[in-house]
Structures are given as C-alpha cells and as structure tokens.
A and B are shown apart, each in its own frame.
Chain A
C-alpha cells in the first residue's frame, strides 16, 4: 500500500479493496434495513385495524419510520469512520447500530402489544 492522497482528498493508505467492498456492502445492508422499516411503518399505519387507543397505528408506525431515517444517516457516518480507520491503519470502532435497531424494534413491538391488548374499535 502506498501513502498518497486519496480520491476523497484524505491522507492515508489505500486499503485492500476487499475491505472497502465489505464496508460498502454493510452500508447498503443498513439502508435496505432502513427501507424495510419505512415499508413496515407505513404498513402499520394503513393496514392495521383501528385501535381503541387514539392514534394507535401511528404510535406503532411512526417510530419505525423515524428509526429507518436514523439508521440511514448513522450508516453513512459509520461507513466514513470505517473507511478512515482502514486508510489510517487504525482499529475499527465499535458499532452500536445493531443495538439501536434491536431496541427500536423491540420498543415498537411492546407498543404494538399494549395497543393491541387494549382492543380495537368495533
């Protein structure tokens, strides 16, 4: 690997292209997850029955959509950090995206369970 200015104007060594490809694929995977959350959130707001709780469907769907947006933004930052670390030969920082996704989905599931338990409108 050679020390030269990269196409992005950053100093650092060009990493193994396989590592850059893996970083890129991980970024794309997070964005696919974000898009799936968008579809799931919209589906919740329109396909679920109306609950007795006012705005129950929005309570389930809106957090999913917001989580999707946050994941997409965070994944780009994560991709940048990984690229920089690889170019500078530094260890990759720990990612909390997986934890955020798990907490978000679990929270939406708990909200859905509570709303569903309170019943639907006749």
Chain B
C-alpha cells in the first residue's frame, strides 16, 4: 500500500495562504450586489407607481441615483481585486466598505421618504 502523496497544487500547511476564502468573499460581494439591485428596483417601482409627481419624487430619485453610483464604485473595486488563485484577493480597506455603508444608508433614506410620502390613488 502506497502512502497518498499531497497534490502538487496544495500549499503546505505552514504557509498562510487564504485558499478559497478569497473566492468566497468574491461570491459574498456578488450576493450583496444582487441584494442592492433588488432593493433599488423595489424603491424605483414604488417611486414611479405610488408617489405623486412632486418634489418627493425628485428627492428620492436623486438619493437613488447617488446611492447607486456609490454602490457601483464599491463593487468596481470588489471585482477589480477579485482573484481566482489560492493567494486570494486584496483585503478590503475601510474606504471600500465605507462606501457600501454609505450607499446602503442612502437607500434606506430613500425608502424611508417613500414610506412616509402619501401614496397616489
């Protein structure tokens, strides 16, 4: 019986290689982008179907646009740093994650305004 030899592509245990953790993080960014798209679509639909055409629509549209732009910049960084190697992606710094927080909070603010505004009957 021969001992199984380690794969030539498997790094030794004493090397700090992130392995597939980077790819899981890439997938997490993709899932978050999908969630942001769904939230944006819900806000947009509510905006155009149920809100009177007044300043409220302008404010919410602006917030949605700004939030969307900030989200895109964060996602651009995320996809630009994605890697398929075992060495993994670049670790996020506070700038990218801060943009995610700002964009999500802007979406929340837009949704809050929509929820408070009277609906168009």
Residues in A lying within 8 Å of B, measured CB to CB:
7-8, 16-18, 20-22, 24-25, 27-29, 31-32, 34-36, 38-39, 41-43, 45-46, 58, 61-62, 65-66, 68-69, 72-73, 75-76, 79-80
Contact = CB atoms under 8 A, between A and B. Distances in A.
Nearest to B113: A65
Given A16-B16, A58-B115, A69-B109, A38 B98 contact: no
A28 B88 CA distance: 18
Where chain B touches its partner, the secondary structure class is helix
B50 to A, nearest CB: 6
A101 to B, nearest CB: 15
B93 interface: yes
Contact of A25 (B19, B28, B109): B28
Where chain A touches its partner, the secondary structure class is helix
B100 A65 contact: no
Nearest to A83: B94
Contacts of A73: 101, 105
Contacts of B100: 27-28, 31, 72, 76
Contacts, number: 118
Interface residues of B, number: 40
A31 B46 contact: no
A16 B89 CA distance: 13
A72 B109 CA distance: 12
A35 B36 contact: yes
B76 interface: no
